[in-house]
Structure 1
Amino acid sequence: MALLANVLSSSVSFVAASDGEFHPPTINEFFPPVIFFEGTNFEINRIVLIRFLMVIVLILLFWLGTRKMRLVPGRGQSLIEMGLDFVRVNIAEDLLGKVDGRRFLPILTSLFFLILAFNITGVIPGLNIAASSTIGLPLVLAVVSYVTFIYAGIKKSPKNFFKNSLFPSGVPLGVYIIVTPIEIISTFIIRPVTLTLRLLMNMLVGHLLLVLLFGATNFFILYSDGIFKLFGVGTFAFSLAFTLFEILVAVLQAYVFTLLTAVYIQLALAEEH
């Protein structure tokens, strides 16, 4: 029972104001109490449990939607096929062509739906926090994207990939002193860093804003006096509007991350490499 109480209490993301004072959200929102294996390298808190949950949900959805494939698809199969076709047509084949698009489709599809599932938990009641709002997960996904980009380039041109990336053709010899360090930073450092930070900061800031708005609603309606209670109506309206916006951001960030991965693969497969 104590464990259950710990999980439930930590799952409440809006600000409690039981003492009659407003408490703004803090960075501690992203460091909930450890639930399992405390003091070990395998500590599991609420955010990690949400990740496990969403992985199970994704596996079940795709298994149920594809276990009995029919020529005339049912509702579940149609939804799964629409999602898969969206990644295949609008990202993979659009940027990489049919041959390379099909070759890298599994990794691009996995990235898109995994990020979408982890992002959308920020607006699911009872979960209330994006599973991608701590740096570990965005960093791992960025490493996957980075390794895929490097693999694509080396596979396409084992001898010339790094050479052409760091020493672009047509540049005067002396200018390489400036160009090559810039290429190292922009191609092999900035790309994974920006992928990580873009996903992390969007989910982190979005969560803090939702906590702030719902916390303000809770405070104004329950603990303020007189006309100040009307402010709660306004903050509640903003809360609902921003929740819809956060859903859009969750989808958009999954799309952007996957799209940029495909763009990097496309650059690695370019003929000059």
Structure 2
Amino acid sequence: MRALWLAEGGEFVPPGAGDFFLPPIFGSVTKPMVLIVLSVVIISAFFLLASRRMQIVPGRFQYFAESVYDFGRNNIAREQIGSKDFLPFVPLILALFTFVLVNNIFGIIPIIQFPSFSHIGFPLALSLLVVYPVYHGMGFKRHGFIGYFKHQLFPPNVPKPIYILLTPIELFTKFIMNPITLAIRVFAAMFAGHLILMVFAIAGEFLLIEGSGALKGVSVVAFAFNIAMTFVEALIMVIQAYIFALLSANYIGQAMSSDH
């Protein structure tokens, strides 16, 4: 990412979508690719260390890890999938939540300062290659091939003429749009949030270096907004990780439920 958005002659050049396409670090390996692998290492190390010496009365580190696990298990998986079926999906839901969260949080960590999911390919791959096959696969397993399509496309207690309009909508929503919108939610939030942070940071830098008189003072306002927006963005990062895991669990619950 460029350190200064200054063209020749001191002209301000605002950051844009092109600044999210970083040059390779080595070969064809880019920074987002490295961050994806790093997030897996961080999450694995976190839970391995927290569970290495479990105690009846947990210390702070163990308590924090147990709180994260309990949140994914009870507040997401159990509530969305149901108390009868949720247990086998706890590892998946917990992994989705922590994976998205860590990759989002990278965007506000000094030096790293790049949310991996601001590249649409990563959330799209997670949605299409992980979540999508799981919830449809479990639906087919639970209801059978014909039964699952009937379960998804023909809601009960609906007048038959309405199916002419409703069934194509259900087909488009359940089998095409759900995985796409799942990915776009987190991507759009990370892309827009990081872009806003860059705008305030670079505008403040530009005013401080190139501004004259009172404009240099305005740079303080830009930096203050940058700090404030960083806290807001941190909250959004957590919320988006929660929403991704929540909707994933919800899709699994809907696919396996007896009712539409």
Q: Under TM normalisation by the shorter chain, which class is it?
A: over 0.9
CA distance in 2, matches of 1:124, 1:76: 20
Contact 2:200/2:226, CA 8 A, preserved across alignment = yes
Partner of 1:77: 62
Partner SS for 2:118 = coil
d(CA) in 1 for partners of 2:241, 2:172? 25
User: Is this contact kept in 1: 2:50–2:65, CA < 8 A?
Assistant: yes
Q: Tell me if structure 1 keeps the 8 A contact 2:81–2:254.
A: no
Quote how far apart the aligned CAs of 1:35 are. Answer: 2.1
Asked if residue 27 in structure 1 is aligned to residue 17 in structure 2, the reply is: yes
Question: Is residue 153–residue 167 contact of structure 2 (8 Å, CA) maintained in 1?
Answer: yes
- 1:120-161 per-residue CA deviation (whole Å, 9 max, x = no partner) reads 011111111101110111101212222221122122211411
Which 10-residue stretch deviates more, 145-154 or 105-114?
A: 145-154
Matches of 1:56 and 1:185 in 2, distance apart? 37
Aligned to 2:136: 150
For structure 2, the residue ranges without an aligned partner over 5 or more in a row are none
Map of 1:17 onto structure 2 = 6
The TM-score with structure 2 as length reference comes to 0.93
Report if the CA contact (8 A) 2:115-2:194 is conserved: yes
Using the TM superposition, give the Cα deviation of residue 98 of structure 1 relative to its aligned residue in structure 2, in angstroms.
2.8
Distance across 2 between alignment mates of 1:18 and 1:165: 55
Q: Which runs of 5+ in 1 are unaligned?
A: 1-9, 38-42
> What is the rounded CA distance, in whole Å, between the counterparts of 2:48 and 2:180 in structure 1?
34
The equivalent residue for 2:156 is 169
The answer as to 2:172 corresponding to 1:182 is no
Give the aligned length.
257
C-alpha separation between the residues in 2 aligned to 1:103 and 1:70? 25
* Deviation of 1:194 (Å): 0.7
Please give the alpha-carbon distance, in whole angstroms, between the structure 1 residues aligned to 2:84 and 2:48.
Answer: 26
Query: 1:235 Cα shift?
Result: 0.6
TM-score (norm 1): 0.89
Matches of 2:62 and 2:249, distance apart in 1: 26
Give the aligned partner of residue 109 of structure 2: 124
**Alignment partner of 1:268 is 2:255:** yes
- Opposite residue 154 of structure 1, the aligned amino acid is F
Matched, 1:66 2:51: yes
Amino acid at match of 1:129: F
1:25, 1:195 → 2: CA distance?
Answer: 26
Identity of aligned residues (%): 38
Answer yes or no: is the 8 Å Cα contact 2:82–2:253 preserved in 1.
no
